[in-house]
Amino acid sequence: MEEINANIVSSADGMLFGALGSCSLCSGSVYYFGGRYKCHGYVSAWSKCAYSTTEPTRLKEKWKVPEDSDNEYLCKWFKSQKAKKPDRILPPSSSRSSNVVDGKSQLTKSESLQELKVAIVGMSNESLEEWKSKIGAAGGVFHMKMKKETYCLVVNGNPEEHDSEIRRARRMKISVVREEYLVDCINKKRRLPTDQYKIEVASETSRSGMVTVKVKGRSAVHEQSGLQDSGHILEDGKSIFNTTLNMSDLSTGINSYYILQIIQEDRGGDCYVFRKWGRVGNEKIGGNKLEMMSKSDAIREFKRLFLDKTGNSWEAWEQKRNFQKQPGRFFPLDIDYGVNKLEPRKNELGDVKSQFAPRLIELMKMLFNVETYRAAMMEFEINMSEMPLGKLSKSNIQKGFEALTEIQNLLSNIVYEPSVKESLIVDASNRFFTVIPSIHPHVIRDENDFKSKVKMLEALQDIEIASRLVGFDSENDESLDEKYKKLCCDVAPLPHDSTDYQMVKKFLLNTHAPTHKDWTLEVEDVFALERDGEFDKYAPYRDNLKNKMLLWHGSRLTNFVGILSQGLRIAPPEAPSTGYMFGKGVYFADLVSKSAQYCYTDKKDAVGLLLLSEVALGEMYELKKAKYMESPPEGKHSTKGLGQKTPNALEFEKWRDEITVPCGSPVSSGVRATELMYNEYIVYNTAQVKMQFLLKVASLQSQLMQVKAQLACKLAGSQATNSQWVRDTSHQCYHVPIESQWMNNTSDNAQPCHPYIHPPHGLMPSMMQPNECSHQKMRSDDHYIFEESMSPKSSVDDVDHDGDDSPSLHHKAWFNRDHDHTLQPCSRKSFQCNDLGELQALALRMMRS
């Protein structure tokens, strides 16, 4: 009935106002619906066309009536109709912009922001107030708590921390979305569909994210078939009857997968066709089916289903010839199960005792820890149900880079009309999320999002290398020694008392950048590196180029198997150029904390890896701002971005006589009008790099301590300023960043009065003088702090407000400064670099409980 009514409406529109022309985007058919003219077609094989307008193109010709029609009225009307038709004037509510794409269409009452009723969790009070005013100003309604009429719950931060609120929202049938949903609603001035922004709680998706892969032959049986232990994927000649299909279309909200396998029993030869389908990242949507049949019937059914889902024959995909993505159909993913790998020797290597030193064993455990790679995949929101850990092939990653390159070109394009540009960006985003399956696909329309996807693909490249080298299969029983050999890189622990170890440690301690105050670095271990073939590759540049330096390079832990086995690499040609300040090259720094930022450690996993490499810089092309280039100008061998801060050249040292170690403390560079805070060094040829040292480094966050005041008379000086102290009124103590304090413990036995002694490094409080007696300035309510810093593995559980005998505590009174400097509590805003609020709140909750 709806189709008949639509035909009547379209016919009436054409008879009165003229036949509609083709869509200006995709040349598809245009039809009238809901007060606008919309396109039926596809802008490409990957996306439905989202073209929509109130002023369509009309054909300048008479409306035609079928020649065999015997309808007298139509025949009479056809002869009398005028060639020139009047323009159709739509009601004002529908007459917005003439060309609108993907949701920029007419606003119904239910779509307006007046119907946007929102509850929010996971935000600070400041952010909450800010959003409350924004939502109100836009015409929406903010709910402090979820109500029956709440439209959606916006979750900021880690969804797992708000599991109870999310479950309640689900029970109330309220959509749970990311903060991005609010941003887009307000920007587009309407209530958008929530499909593209929905959050899946990790506990719900983890079952799909922890797929066990058991490779038999050249592929792996899906665990939900129930035949993982007793069956294998059917192989017939070169054919491997296993495929994973994916389809992501942001304009329609589709984000689906379809897994198709023929599984043959290990014994007996019976065959089963297994299929599993659903929405990416949500195991509650979809299903699976297992059918037993003969081998020939199974192959026939497999090929039929593949043709039905993709619009292409199975042979076209196998041969990689004449396969073309079809509109509205699935696209097969390349999954690399490591078919060229030798079968692992089960029960032979797993329990073999390693021959390596304990320090090297610990490093290898870090490098080959499957959970580290799994966590990275989950951080990137890669769907691990259809894309098992590390099995994403090079070709998929390459296609992802190609889609991002197209998005980059579109973002900078000023020729296309906004509607056309938006539709093409949606199309490229669809291609990206089809070949890189994600739990939360979305339109990649801003530069920061775009850059994060580039970094994600770079990390996936290294995960793919790690998978290929050492394997993440459940039945891979190789020992650490076997995996180490596949790195083809000699890794040797340095003696802690060696000259090289002390040099590296000094370099790290001296070159922490002044703006990176919220964390410090601590050397846990240092290893010398010798990658196979790198010495010979580097030799011509070592011998012919002057200006060789030891420089820092930081990267994710998951990248280091790729780095150690293949060296530092330059982004591939298909990768977009945006995101590389001075072009595609290998980037280094002379300040350690500049590079350490790219290790992406956190409180839970505080230990990362850093590289120190010998870099043949030669003549440097010096720049003060970003400039993209494929290589430096003729006569130059590298690029240097000049920063405002630089290591003090007076403290530089030489290593092996000719290699400069820029281990000076940071000072002002004196360079004017530069856009860079710190120096950057870039080489465009990997042969100019020789990896020398690998550092295992702990990132110490600025932990804050608190101790209840006690009656004692011991002096503590501090270089902290008032703005760095926060009063804890509940426990009568102050919270102070550890890095900003120093202590002076004059005696283990409290005496009525202690003379002041110079603190370490010559630091002195401005109001105290040497040998000045401070006893008269002390009061019984003076406050105390911890003297010793926390390790990354300790927690606020170690903080004791009441302890008197703890050996880790040195209760020391803060001298009273009322006579010249009143100590005032400061706001949380003063702690932009410290986790003060979080730690303080946690400590208070613990004490009250």
The residues annotated as belonging to the active site are 680
- Whole-number Å distance between alpha carbons of 391 and 405: 23
Which amino acid would we find at residue 83? A
Q: Which residues contact 634 (CB under 8 A, 6 or more apart)?
A: none
Neighbour count for residue 316 (Cβ, 10 Å): 16
Query: Alpha carbon of 734 to those of 133, 536, 831: distances in Å?
Result: 34, 58, 14
List, in order, residues 6 or more apart from 610 with CB less than 8 Å away: 552, 553, 554, 592, 595, 596, 599, 694, 695, 697
- Distance, CA of 14 to CA of 61 (rounded, Å): 11
**Cα angle, residue 71 at apex, residues 66 and 73 outer, rounded to 5°:** 110
The full DSSP string for 691-757 is: EEEEEEEEEEE--EE-B---S---EE-B---GGG-EEETTTTEEEEEGGGB------SS--S-----
Closest CA to 280 of 326, 249, 235: 249
Stated as kind and residue range, the H or E segment containing 504 is helix 499-510
The closest alpha carbon to 678, from 598, 616, 613, 590, belongs to 590
Q: Is 236 exposed, middle or buried (0-12, 13-18, 19+ CB in 10 A)?
A: exposed
Q: Cα(98)–Cα(37) distance, rounded to whole angstroms? A: 10
Which amino acid is it at 344? P
Per-residue CA distances from 166 to 170, 182, 372, 383 (Å): 6, 17, 27, 21
Q: How far apart are CA 23 and CA 36, in angstroms?
A: 13
Q: 326 near 310, Cβ under 8 Å?
A: yes
The three-state secondary structure class of 170 is helix
How are beta strands 152-155 and 117-121 bridged, if at all?
parallel
**Structural tokens at position 636:** 């130059």
Can you give 580-603 as a three-state secondary structure string?
Answer: CECECCEEEECCHHHHHHHHCCCC
Query: Buried (b) or exposed (e) across 147-166, using 16+ Cβ within 10 A?
Result: eeebbbbbbbeebeebeebb
Q: Name 735's bridge partners.
A: 726
The answer to whether 109 and 115 have CB atoms below 8 angstroms apart is yes
- Dist. CA 745–CA 272, nearest whole Å: 77
CA atoms of 146 and 152, how far apart (whole Å): 9
Distance of alpha carbon 771 from alpha carbon 746, whole angstroms = 12
- The tokens describing 509, both together, are 């301690």
Contact 43, 49 (CB under 8 A): yes
The runs of H, that is alpha helices, within 389-496 are 394-411, 418-435, 447-470, 480-486
**3-class DSSP assignment, residue 384:** coil
563-596 burial code (b ≥16 CB/10 A, e <16): bbbbbbebbeeebbebbbbbbbbbbbbbbbbbbb
- Distance of alpha carbon 473 from alpha carbon 777, whole angstroms: 68
Return the residue matching tokens 């009568």.
732
- N- to C-terminal Cα distance for the chain? 65
With CA atoms as reference, report the closest residue to 53 among 25, 14, 85, 17: 25
